[in-house]
Amino acid sequence: MPAYRVDINHIVTAEEVEQMMSKSQYPMHRAMIAALYLSGGRVSEVCGLRLSSFNIGEELVTVTMETKKLGKTNEFIIRTRKLEFTKDAPFLADVLEYLAALTEHGSTPEQRIFPVTVRTIGKTVERLSERRFCPMNFRHSRMTKLANEGVSLGELMGWKGAKDARSVSPYLAGKPIGRRLKIT
Protein backbone atom coordinates (compact mmCIF):
# COMPACT_ATOMS: atom_id res chain seq x y z
CA MET A 1 0.00 0.00 0.00
CA PRO A 2 1.49 3.36 -0.97
CA ALA A 3 2.01 6.10 1.59
CA TYR A 4 -0.46 8.98 1.37
CA ARG A 5 0.05 12.57 2.50
CA VAL A 6 -3.62 12.82 3.40
CA ASP A 7 -6.11 10.87 5.50
CA ILE A 8 -7.37 8.11 3.19
CA ASN A 9 -10.04 7.14 5.71
CA HIS A 10 -11.96 10.35 5.00
CA ILE A 11 -15.36 9.53 3.48
CA VAL A 12 -16.12 11.87 0.57
CA THR A 13 -19.67 13.25 0.74
CA ALA A 14 -21.93 14.35 -2.10
CA GLU A 15 -21.69 17.90 -0.75
CA GLU A 16 -17.90 17.83 -1.06
CA VAL A 17 -18.20 16.54 -4.62
CA GLU A 18 -20.59 19.40 -5.44
CA GLN A 19 -18.14 21.92 -3.95
CA MET A 20 -15.24 20.48 -5.94
CA MET A 21 -17.24 20.51 -9.17
CA SER A 22 -18.40 24.08 -8.62
CA LYS A 23 -14.78 25.20 -8.10
CA SER A 24 -13.66 23.72 -11.40
CA GLN A 25 -13.90 25.79 -14.54
CA TYR A 26 -13.25 22.82 -16.85
CA PRO A 27 -15.96 20.34 -17.91
CA MET A 28 -13.33 17.57 -18.07
CA HIS A 29 -12.41 18.08 -14.41
CA ARG A 30 -16.07 18.08 -13.36
CA ALA A 31 -16.67 14.85 -15.27
CA MET A 32 -13.50 13.32 -13.82
CA ILE A 33 -14.56 14.09 -10.23
CA ALA A 34 -18.04 12.70 -10.95
CA ALA A 35 -16.59 9.52 -12.49
CA LEU A 36 -14.30 8.97 -9.49
CA TYR A 37 -17.19 9.46 -7.06
CA LEU A 38 -19.69 7.30 -8.95
CA SER A 39 -17.45 4.40 -9.86
CA GLY A 40 -15.14 4.10 -6.91
CA GLY A 41 -12.62 3.08 -9.54
CA ARG A 42 -8.88 3.14 -9.29
CA VAL A 43 -7.39 6.33 -10.65
CA SER A 44 -5.74 4.36 -13.46
CA GLU A 45 -9.13 2.86 -14.38
CA VAL A 46 -10.80 6.26 -14.57
CA CYS A 47 -7.82 7.62 -16.49
CA GLY A 48 -8.21 4.78 -19.00
CA LEU A 49 -11.94 5.25 -19.67
CA ARG A 50 -12.85 5.58 -23.34
CA LEU A 51 -16.04 6.60 -25.10
CA SER A 52 -16.51 2.91 -25.91
CA SER A 53 -16.43 2.14 -22.15
CA PHE A 54 -19.95 3.59 -21.86
CA ASN A 55 -23.10 1.84 -23.02
CA ILE A 56 -25.94 4.32 -22.64
CA GLY A 57 -29.39 2.71 -22.63
CA GLU A 58 -32.80 4.18 -22.04
CA GLU A 59 -32.75 3.61 -18.27
CA LEU A 60 -29.27 2.30 -17.47
CA VAL A 61 -25.72 3.38 -18.18
CA THR A 62 -23.17 0.56 -18.12
CA VAL A 63 -19.53 1.46 -17.65
CA THR A 64 -16.79 -1.07 -18.36
CA MET A 65 -13.78 -0.50 -16.13
CA GLU A 66 -10.49 -2.11 -17.11
CA THR A 67 -7.71 -2.97 -14.67
CA LYS A 68 -4.18 -3.80 -15.74
CA LYS A 69 -1.99 -5.45 -13.15
CA LEU A 70 1.39 -7.07 -13.26
CA GLY A 71 1.13 -10.78 -12.45
CA LYS A 72 3.51 -12.93 -10.42
CA THR A 73 5.41 -13.95 -13.55
CA ASN A 74 5.70 -10.32 -14.78
CA GLU A 75 2.96 -10.63 -17.39
CA PHE A 76 0.13 -8.11 -17.54
CA ILE A 77 -3.24 -9.34 -16.37
CA ILE A 78 -6.17 -7.38 -17.75
CA ARG A 79 -9.47 -7.68 -15.90
CA THR A 80 -12.70 -5.92 -16.70
CA ARG A 81 -15.80 -5.28 -14.65
CA LYS A 82 -19.09 -3.70 -15.57
CA LEU A 83 -20.82 -1.15 -13.36
CA GLU A 84 -24.46 -0.25 -13.93
CA PHE A 85 -26.01 3.08 -13.02
CA THR A 86 -29.55 4.32 -13.34
CA LYS A 87 -29.76 7.55 -15.29
CA ASP A 88 -30.79 9.43 -12.15
CA ALA A 89 -27.57 8.51 -10.29
CA PRO A 90 -26.02 11.59 -8.69
CA PHE A 91 -23.51 13.38 -10.90
CA LEU A 92 -24.01 10.96 -13.83
CA ALA A 93 -25.55 13.80 -15.86
CA ASP A 94 -22.23 15.67 -15.65
CA VAL A 95 -20.36 12.70 -17.12
CA LEU A 96 -22.96 12.16 -19.86
CA GLU A 97 -22.91 15.86 -20.78
CA TYR A 98 -19.12 15.70 -21.12
CA LEU A 99 -19.36 12.54 -23.26
CA ALA A 100 -21.91 14.22 -25.51
CA ALA A 101 -19.57 17.19 -25.99
CA LEU A 102 -16.69 14.86 -26.88
CA THR A 103 -18.84 13.01 -29.40
CA GLU A 104 -20.03 16.30 -30.88
CA HIS A 105 -16.42 17.41 -31.36
CA GLY A 106 -15.58 14.23 -33.28
CA SER A 107 -13.86 12.05 -30.69
CA THR A 108 -13.54 8.43 -31.72
CA PRO A 109 -14.84 5.59 -29.51
CA GLU A 110 -11.32 4.44 -28.64
CA GLN A 111 -10.04 7.83 -27.49
CA ARG A 112 -9.55 8.23 -23.76
CA ILE A 113 -12.10 10.62 -22.33
CA PHE A 114 -9.60 11.99 -19.79
CA PRO A 115 -6.34 12.41 -21.73
CA VAL A 116 -4.31 13.11 -18.59
CA THR A 117 -1.96 11.17 -16.35
CA VAL A 118 -2.77 9.53 -13.03
CA ARG A 119 -0.62 12.19 -11.36
CA THR A 120 -2.66 14.99 -12.98
CA ILE A 121 -5.88 13.49 -11.63
CA GLY A 122 -4.34 13.37 -8.16
CA LYS A 123 -3.19 16.98 -8.35
CA THR A 124 -6.61 18.08 -9.60
CA VAL A 125 -8.39 16.35 -6.71
CA GLU A 126 -5.99 17.85 -4.17
CA ARG A 127 -6.38 21.33 -5.66
CA LEU A 128 -10.19 21.23 -5.74
CA SER A 129 -10.80 19.58 -2.36
CA GLU A 130 -11.02 21.76 0.72
CA ARG A 131 -10.04 18.93 3.07
CA ARG A 132 -7.05 18.03 0.90
CA PHE A 133 -7.91 14.44 0.14
CA CYS A 134 -6.66 12.22 -2.65
CA PRO A 135 -8.34 10.20 -5.44
CA MET A 136 -8.12 7.04 -3.30
CA ASN A 137 -10.67 8.63 -0.95
CA PHE A 138 -13.32 8.29 -3.68
CA ARG A 139 -12.68 4.55 -3.97
CA HIS A 140 -12.65 4.08 -0.20
CA SER A 141 -15.85 6.13 0.14
CA ARG A 142 -17.73 4.15 -2.52
CA MET A 143 -16.83 0.81 -0.94
CA THR A 144 -17.77 2.05 2.55
CA LYS A 145 -21.11 3.42 1.32
CA LEU A 146 -21.95 0.19 -0.51
CA ALA A 147 -21.08 -1.88 2.57
CA ASN A 148 -23.22 0.39 4.76
CA GLU A 149 -26.12 -0.03 2.34
CA GLY A 150 -25.91 -3.78 2.91
CA VAL A 151 -24.77 -5.00 -0.51
CA SER A 152 -23.66 -8.61 -0.61
CA LEU A 153 -20.05 -9.70 -0.36
CA GLY A 154 -20.10 -10.71 -4.03
CA GLU A 155 -21.43 -7.32 -5.14
CA LEU A 156 -18.84 -5.50 -3.05
CA MET A 157 -16.08 -7.64 -4.53
CA GLY A 158 -17.45 -6.93 -8.01
CA TRP A 159 -17.46 -3.17 -7.47
CA LYS A 160 -13.94 -3.27 -6.12
CA GLY A 161 -12.70 -5.73 -8.73
CA ALA A 162 -11.44 -8.02 -5.97
CA LYS A 163 -10.56 -11.69 -6.44
CA ASP A 164 -11.16 -12.63 -2.81
CA ALA A 165 -12.84 -11.27 0.30
CA ARG A 166 -9.67 -10.13 2.06
CA SER A 167 -9.54 -6.76 0.31
CA VAL A 168 -13.20 -5.97 1.00
CA SER A 169 -13.33 -7.26 4.58
CA PRO A 170 -12.40 -3.85 6.10
CA TYR A 171 -15.60 -2.41 4.67
CA LEU A 172 -17.97 -5.12 5.86
CA ALA A 173 -18.26 -3.67 9.35
CA GLY A 174 -18.89 -0.27 7.80
CA LYS A 175 -15.59 0.96 9.19
CA PRO A 176 -12.14 0.47 7.73
CA ILE A 177 -9.52 -1.20 9.88
CA GLY A 178 -7.12 1.51 11.01
CA ARG A 179 -4.22 -0.80 11.80
CA ARG A 180 -3.49 -4.48 11.93
CA LEU A 181 -2.90 -6.22 15.22
CA LYS A 182 -0.25 -8.87 15.60
CA ILE A 183 -1.71 -11.76 17.52
CA THR A 184 0.80 -14.13 19.10
pLDDT tens track for 111-144: 999 999 999 999 999 899 987 788 889 998 998 8
Backbone angles phi, psi at 63, to 5 degrees: -115, 125
* CATH code for the domain defined by 14-134: 3.90.15.10
Task: For 115-126, give the secondary structure using H, E and C.
Answer: CCCHHHHHHHHH
Instruction: Tell me the whole-structure pTM to 2 decimals.
Output: 0.85
Q: How confident is the model at residue 155 (pLDDT cuts 50, 70, 90)?
A: confident
pLDDT tens track for 53-101: 999 999 999 999 998 877 788 888 888 989 999 999 999 999 999 999 9
